[in-house]
Structure 1
Amino acid sequence: MNVAFDTNALYNSRAGVARYVQGLLGGLRERCGTGVNILPFAWEVENLGAPGLERSCKTLWRELVWARWIAPRRLLRSGAGLYHATGTAYFVPPSGITFLATVHDLAAIRCPERFRGWQRRQRDARVRRLLRARQFVCISRFTADELMREFGVSAERIEVVYNGADDPSALSRGGGGASGLQVPDEFLLFVGSLEPGKNLALLRRVYELAAGRGVALPPLLIAGARWPGVAHEGAPPDGWRYLGRIADETLVMLYRRAAALVFPSRYEGFGLPVAEAMLAGCPVICSPVASLPEVGGKAALFVDQTPEAYLAGIRLVLDDPVRRAEMIAAGREQAAGFSWSRCADGYLAVYRNLHQ
């Protein structure tokens, strides 16, 4: 059985979808000999890091030329019986090829302010293509419920397969990627693309509240690519450090050394930093919104999305070493259920069911 596996996210994204594609592809490749042949399928030209005009031209080519005219013909020649759209539904496969789509979230509908103008303009067309899939895989029960409520998709067309989280020991074997980064003895960590939905503004208010009360908080290290708009929020509070995009082994080092991951996101389809942090032994403070209760389980410290609640949660983790140790142990146990091998097994079962 040949499966054309969409890898476009590896060339045009630094967000969680790219980590998902990379992780799932690795898990599927570990399952060689299962009777399923994975064929990476993409326009293998990178958008990332290109100047604005060049990036725009590449985006237009990928969506308006490659997806409409080149990809369907290439898919027919590939011998694939199934096309797996792992993120954006760039096109509908030709007749005779089964269409499977992964749905990460409905953020384009729920939180349009998180997206660039081109993405907002293409939203309706992308959704129409997506809904023509024969079967859907959702990365959380929350996303599955949203898909059913918003579009009336029947439960029979949906499978829930949770994402994995990268093994910290495997990532840290990469070597000295963290050697040039000096970090404080004690710090808090934020991980995520710096766009409005990740709610970094709430942490700004937390630090302002703490300063007003004379409460000293550790520095906040911020790992993630900056999006337009976030850079214009004003001067950061004292102790904040923007690290930008960092290597995986550096991220693992930060997870392992941070006092806690503070993750005040308003909306997540999964919440990969939560699972990654717990797996690396980092306590997690977040809010009980969207998919985060599924991922955090009983291990994360859930607080309301107010400055007072986050400040109290941070102080609890910092001031109570017994509670912090309990959160670390519970986090590792919770995150052990999120592996790319288990994720791959779930997708292989879906592939086989569609092939019957």
Structure 2
Amino acid sequence: MSMVRDQGVMPTRPLHVAIDARAANGLSGGVGELTLGYAKALNLFDPDKFIFSLCVTSDINQEMLRELVPRGTRFVQVDTDQEKRIDVDLQLWANDAIKASYGMKDGWCSARLNALDSTDLFNSHQFDVFHGLLQFSLLHDVPMIYHPHDLQHLHFPEYFSKEESQARELMYQLFCRRASIISVASRWIKNDIEKQYNVNENKIYSVPWVSTAEKIYNSSSSAIKDVCDKYMISAGDFIIYPAQTWKHKNHLGLFQALALLQREGGPVPSLVLTGFVNEQGHDLLDAVVQLGLSDKVKFLGYVSRNELSLLYQLARCTVIPTKFEAGSLPIFDAFTLGCPVACSNVTSLPDQADGGALLFNPDDIAEMASVIRRLWTDVNLRCRLIRRGNEVVARLSWDAVVQNYGVLYRLARGEMLSESELAGFAARFVY
């Protein structure tokens, strides 16, 4: 199927796009950071062609968001406890998870889901397109761009309860079917969705996200001292790993690698962790003690964006031991801020890093420890990785992201697009 529409809607007014900003509450990890970054990028759209509304809940700091978005952006409250629910019939593709949960055979099967319905609310605001940045999207009849982000529950079902896995599977398949366009961050997850959900490849578009980090130039010595004193760290003397404590983030594997280095003798890096310690992370606090790393590991919790940028710039390196990612913002953040990286060799990460990071098997603790030792002790290696990381992120920009979504919004709405517009989309960098 070509992206060119032979017949479609001719634009007569600015296209009104609703952005799902419910993840901008600071509790949603990478999705929340993407939401904030994209909210700021809305300023790059032509206001004569696009206008925006942000769908938020009552716990969102609207004043903070208003400072990011274009003047005149509307805010629409969609508190889910006040929305009505309806039963929705859907067709499921019987992948392994569906077969196991429902005893289905190969092919399609029918299911029913009780879901929140925002149809009346959306129609009252006359949205042309809904951009669903959150996986657990909202029911409506507006043309939608949907982000499932990843299908981790199918690859690591042990990290979810049976109820959580079933809920994700039903919701993801429902919105992948209902969406006009599915947007993903990498070719790897595009291929995964095609395979797991039997989705036509022409419905899925890969638009890589861009770092939300901003390099803090000429940071005053007092600002650096304040951060170092606040968190009791020394510049250039720690590893940073920014991630909520979800199991797939593999903090425990990183702790075990540091413990192995400690047993083997030689330098043992200190580790600084940022991101919320959620309900899955409480056991990690005990693991630090049991592994004898109490003086080496610091949990800072959620830090401000400015502080996080400074921490990247002060760290000797970033280590990302995750077991599953559709794409890793911390890789691009570290590249942007000149912090050398070692990361897992899983999913899309090798393609994303593109030679700018040392790779390791996240299930091989000895290999991870060896890579950490190399990165920690070899200054020439770190310099080479910094240079390559800079080359990788130099190909990316929020301008390109905005151009791509401008095309997708018009496509979702049903507009006719020229071959030159589509060629521009295809030419922009993806991984």
Q: 1:239-261, CA deviations, whole angstroms, 9 ceiling, x for partnerless residues?
A: 11111111111111111111111
Corresponding residue for 2:3? none
TM-score (norm 1): 0.87
Corresponding residue for 1:107? 152
Instruction: Describe how 1:270-281 pairs up with structure 2 within 5 A.
Output: 270-281=327-338
For 1:64 and 1:88, the matched residues in 2 are separated by 19
Corresponding residue for 2:140? 93
CA contact 1:28–1:341 (8 Å) conserved in 2: no
Are positions 1:181 and 2:231 aligned together? yes
Deviation at 1:65, TM superposition (A): 5.6
Are positions 1:39 and 2:53 aligned together? yes
Deviation at 1:42, TM superposition (A): 2.9
Corresponding residue for 2:397? 339
Aligned mate of 1:81, from 108, 116, 128: 128
Corresponding residue for 1:138? 184
Aligned mate of 1:127, from 172, 176, 196: 172
Aligned mate of 1:169, from 203, 210, 215: 215
Q: CA RMSD in A?
A: 2.8
Flag the 1:128–1:324 CA change in 2: closer, same or farther, 3 A.
Answer: closer
Flag the 1:204–1:258 CA change in 2: closer, same or farther, 3 A.
Answer: same
Aligned mate of 2:409, from 337, 347, 351: 351
Instruction: Describe how 1:286-297 pairs up with structure 2 within 5 A.
Output: 286-297=343-354
SS class of match (1:215)? coil
For 2:79 and 2:168, the matched residues in 1 are separated by 14
For 1:117 and 1:244, the matched residues in 2 are separated by 29
Instruction: Describe how 1:219-298 pairs up with structure 2 within 5 A.
Output: 219-233=270-284, 234-236=286-288, 237=293, 238-298=295-355
Deviation at 1:34, TM superposition (A): 5.1
Greater gyration radius: 2
Higher share in strand? 2
Corresponding residue for 1:55? none
Corresponding residue for 1:216? 267
Deviates more, 1:259-268 or 1:182-191: 182-191
CA contact 1:274–1:296 (8 Å) conserved in 2: yes
CA contact 2:58–2:79 (8 Å) conserved in 1: no
SS class of match (1:169)? coil
Are positions 1:324 and 2:382 aligned together? yes
TM-score (norm 2): 0.73
For 1:8 and 1:314, the matched residues in 2 are separated by 37
SS class of match (2:333)? helix
Deviates more, 1:215-224 or 1:334-343: 334-343
Count the aligned residue pairs. 344
CA contact 1:284–1:301 (8 Å) conserved in 2: yes
Deviation at 1:147, TM superposition (A): 0.5
SS class of match (2:272)? strand
Deviation at 1:338, TM superposition (A): 3.4
For 1:202 and 1:263, the matched residues in 2 are separated by 10
Corresponding residue for 1:61? 81
Higher share in helix? 1
For 2:349 and 2:200, the matched residues in 1 are separated by 24
**What residue ranges of structure 2 are gaps of 5+ in the alignment?**
1-14, 62-77, 87-113, 416-431
**In the alignment, residue 80 of structure 1 is paired with which amino acid?**
F
**What residue ranges of structure 1 are gaps of 5+ in the alignment?**
48-57
Corresponding residue for 2:44? 30
Q: 1:67-91, CA deviations, whole angstroms, 9 ceiling, x for partnerless residues?
A: 9666321100111111111122433
Q: 1:179-232, CA deviations, whole angstroms, 9 ceiling, x for partnerless residues?
A: 733312411111101111001111111122112211221211111111223222
CA contact 1:286–1:301 (8 Å) conserved in 2: yes
Deviates more, 1:146-155 or 1:175-184: 175-184
